[in-house]
Amino acid sequence: MAADTVFGSSHVLDSSSSTSSHPLSPGAGVVPAIENVVSTVNLGCTLDLKAIALHAPNAEYNPKRLAAVMIRIKEPKTTALIFSSGKMVCTGAKSEQQSRLAARKHARIIQKLGFDVKFNGFKIQNIVAAYDFTFPINLIRLANSHFKFSVYEPELFPGLIYRMKQSKIMVQVFSSGKIAIAGAQKRDEILKAFENIYPILMSFRADK
Amino acid sequence: MVYCNNCSRNVTGERVYDGPLCCTFCGKVLEEYNFASEPQFVKDSAGLSKLSGNFVKSVQDISDSRRRTLDKAFDDMRCMKDALSIDDYSDDVVETARRFYEIALERNFTRGRRSELVQAACLYLACRQKKKPFLLIDFSSYLNINVYELGSVYLQLCYVLYLAETRDLQKLIDPSIFIHKFTNVLIPEGNDEVVKTARDILASMKRDWMQTGRKPSGLCGAALYISALSHGLKCSKSDIIRIVHICEATLTKRLVEFENTDSGSLTIEELTEKEKELRTSSLTKKRPNTGSKEASIHEVLCKHMEKKPFAYGLCEECYEEFMKVSGGLDGGSDPPAFQRAEKERIAKLSIEENAKSVSGSPFASGSEKPENIGVSEGATNQAAMDERDNDKLPGVDGSDDESDNFSDIDDFEVDGYLHNEEEKHYKKIIWEEMNREYLEEQAAKEAAAAAAKEASMANYDKCPEDLQAAQELAAAAAEVVAKSRKERQQKRAAEAKKAGPAQTAAEATRRMLDRKRLSSKINYDALEKLFDEPVAPEKPKKQRNESHSDEKEEKVSKMGKEEGDLVDKYDDDNDEEGDEGGTFDNNLDFENEVYDYEDDYEYDGF
């Protein structure tokens, strides 16, 4: 599948196939860069968190604050939260394959500590991507014209939060021209959201 | 709303006891008619007395408890309004807020949220609509809650009230409304000049796009500071910080940003001149240049559907409003956030260029070069790793063949992530030291569980003394352990469910006291002796308890408490774990009294 290749270089993909009639649609190869992938997996057995915390050097376990062990590995640079029920959350990876690889590495660590782990139900829960438009965006104007989708409360958060009606994807737009797309479970959801928001923001570009 | 000539404005009048109408602010009597509310009788033509007026079917569309909730909310909101001095003269804002609250109630928005949060959010929304200069931070500091928590409740409220759908430009805050308020706080005598200059400064800030993404209070603070200083008034940064609710670093940043804009280099007179010019020129209402990339819009995006679009897809009125709020889109077009991003981009570009030039030459000399090499190496490593990624996981599309043996993971690397024996030992010591409290709690819990188990085992053997001892032990251990409130509550709820109605008044009283959490201050032995009579439990409880309650009333009143309503409250049975024990809170605050009472009073028995 074409989606397996590293994101930035995908040029065959759908970014130009749909809504290409719009003059402001993103050209070929203009795609946001994925910054974070969050995934969960079930290791299939109960775990003794104290034993894990004591045997691994980069494990943190503060039972009063959170009932899970936090283990970090260097390659791919990720953090995993491991619960006593055997479920694990893996965050910090830069792509879906890396997230899977990292989850497997974490599971292997637990396996070496003597637990009978499996790798059930690996699922990507959230993908976060970022993109830089390199021109300033007037958030007030965006909030006025797209009031149905945008929430802009400068007292609470400096960015404007744009939620599409048809999907549950959320885009944060900042006045510096950078955006963050979050809430997707698959890569093409991100691409679709990006395609929707790109012409809107390009039309706001001020000609100096 | 009637006019009070003492306050010289319209006020909400208040009519006390159907009598004269008074001003709510100064108390002056505005109208003096007395109204009677009894039914009136008139004689008709035949000389028969008839009731004057018509019968009207009772229009009670909301239940009593709902009305009570609304009234309570109204009172709370009024208190909030007074505390923040939002509007001393009328209840308009609170009326609007009350209507929001009603709708929120109907949509079940108050369930699961603290009512004061919902009230504050409704009041803040009403202030926004009436353009009253109040920030979310004011409300959150009055209620002592996190401003972001209140903010999220407010956003959800907007969603529930469908306010997102309305094409309402006014939802966005215009920082200029705050200037007047802040100036009056800073300079109690009031100073129009300062206000005007501050407004001008703010308008120029808006044009330079300093406003996007910023809290309105920060900009106001900076504008006010500059304007006050330029008029010769002595005000320090800490004064401004106190009034405007921002920190010194933010204020400094805003001042620096303003300095960097074009208007920052003008003197005050030049600035005022420029603003006056702009204001007069905008009166000619020329259409702005919208730019070539914007598609032609034939219908307006604002709520005035029948008008034609003037600019940016808004009708004329809304366009004026938009210009006032945001300062327009021409001009600076250079928000400081964008400037910072640009600087970072340029810095990154220069690093990359250096790296490219360095990797061309074989040797790296100089201190900054190794960094750049690090960067470029990192980039190449990343690319290489990605390739390795793709080679390593050919069957990644959902197949779990290698799932359980993890043979694809490099063992050597994983071993590096595990401790050897010595490290394990040390880590154990360190961790136990750091988490000592938690371990102690766990140990106590286990001890209690073991004791309880023993108790149940002893129960099994049906041995009375051991049973009692084990029960006491279990009870004591359980007491020690159940420190957390949640556990105690759960325990109480479980016990209440298990135990059923109380057998004696003593037990009922004790239960009620336990529930009301006064247990540490009550001497239970005294309580036992209180009801120490040869009571046969078969006797009807009701009578017993009523006479008990009478006796109890006497005793309590003899203890010298002023709570006369205790007599009323103690009418019902003691069996039910009702709310009548509420007054007990006030009465049994003092340990001594309980003890003294025990000594002095002699129970006469029945």
Query: pLDDT tens across B295-315, in order?
Result: 344 445 555 555 555 555 556
C-alpha distance from residue B353 to each of B273, B376, B383, B498 (Å): 47, 11, 19, 77
Q: Quick one: pLDDT at residue B211?
A: 77
Instruction: Say if residue B591's pLDDT is above 70.
Output: no
- Give the list of residues 6+ apart from residue B516 with CB closer than 8 angstroms, or none: B581, B584, B585
Q: Quick one: pLDDT at residue B329?
A: 57
Question: In this structure, which topology does domain B64-171 adopt according to CATH?
Answer: Cyclin A; domain 1 (1.10.472)
Q: Quick one: pLDDT at residue B351?
A: 86
Instruction: Say if residue B193's pLDDT is above 90.
Output: no
Asked if the C-beta of A2 comes within 8 angstroms of chain B's C-beta atoms, the answer is no
Model-level pTM? 0.61
Q: Give A 3-62 residues with CB within 8 A of chain B.
A: 4-6, 24, 50, 53-58, 61-62
Q: What's the CA dihedral at B154, B156, B157, B158 to 10 degrees?
A: 90
Kindly give the residue spans of alpha helices, DSSP state H, lying in B108-176: 115-129, 136-143, 147-160
Q: Which residue has the higher pLDDT, B406 or B597?
A: B406
Cβ of A57 within 8 Å of Cβ of B413? The answer is no
Q: Please name which of B102, B83, B154 lies closest in space to residue B125, comparing C-alpha atoms.
A: B154
B210, closest residue in chain A (CA to CA): A175
Asked if the C-beta of A116 comes within 8 angstroms of chain B's C-beta atoms, the answer is no
Q: Which of A48, A175, A198 to mutate to test the interface with B (most CBs of B within 10 A)?
A: A175
- B-chain CB neighbours of A144 within 8 Å are 169, 172, 301-302, 312, 314, 318, 322
C-alpha distance from residue B388 to each of A79, A106, B107, B392, B546 (Å): 21, 19, 55, 6, 85
Closest-CA distance, A156 to chain B, in angstroms, reads 6
Domain boundaries, chain A: 39-124, 133-203
Mean pLDDT, to the nearest integer, of B292-297? 38
| Locus of tokens 């250096």 | B354
* Lowest-confidence region among B143-147, B200-204, B445-449: B200-204
* Pick from B293, B325, B424: CB nearest A202: B293
Domain boundaries, chain B: 2-39, 64-171
B159, closest residue in chain A (CA to CA): A151
Instruction: Say if residue B532's pLDDT is above 90.
Output: no
Instruction: Classify B115 as helix, strand or coil.
Output: helix
Cβ proximity of A173 and A137 under 8 Å: yes
CATH classification for the domain delimited by A133-203, as one of 3.30.310.10, 3.30.930.10, 3.30.1330.10, 3.40.50.300: 3.30.310.10
Kindly give the residue spans of alpha helices, DSSP state H, lying in B462-540: 464-481, 485-499, 505-515, 524-530
> What angle separates helix B216-230 from helix B177-186, to the nearest 10 degrees?
50
| Domains A39-124 and A133-203 equal at CATH topology level | yes
Closest-CA distance, B372 to chain A, in angstroms, reads 21
Mean pLDDT, to the nearest integer, of A13-27? 53
Query: What superfamily in CATH does domain A39-124 come from?
Result: TATA-Binding Protein (3.30.310.10)
Q: Quick one: pLDDT at residue B423?
A: 76
Q: Quick one: pLDDT at residue B371?
A: 43
| Locus of tokens 């909301």 | B62
Instruction: Classify B60 as helix, strand or coil.
Output: coil
Closest-CA distance, B422 to chain A, in angstroms, reads 10
**Tell me: the pLDDT tens digits for A153-183?**
888 888 888 888 777 899 999 888 889 999 9
Instruction: Say if residue A130's pLDDT is above 90.
Output: yes
**Tell me: the pLDDT tens digits for B92-124?**
888 899 999 999 998 998 888 999 999 999 999
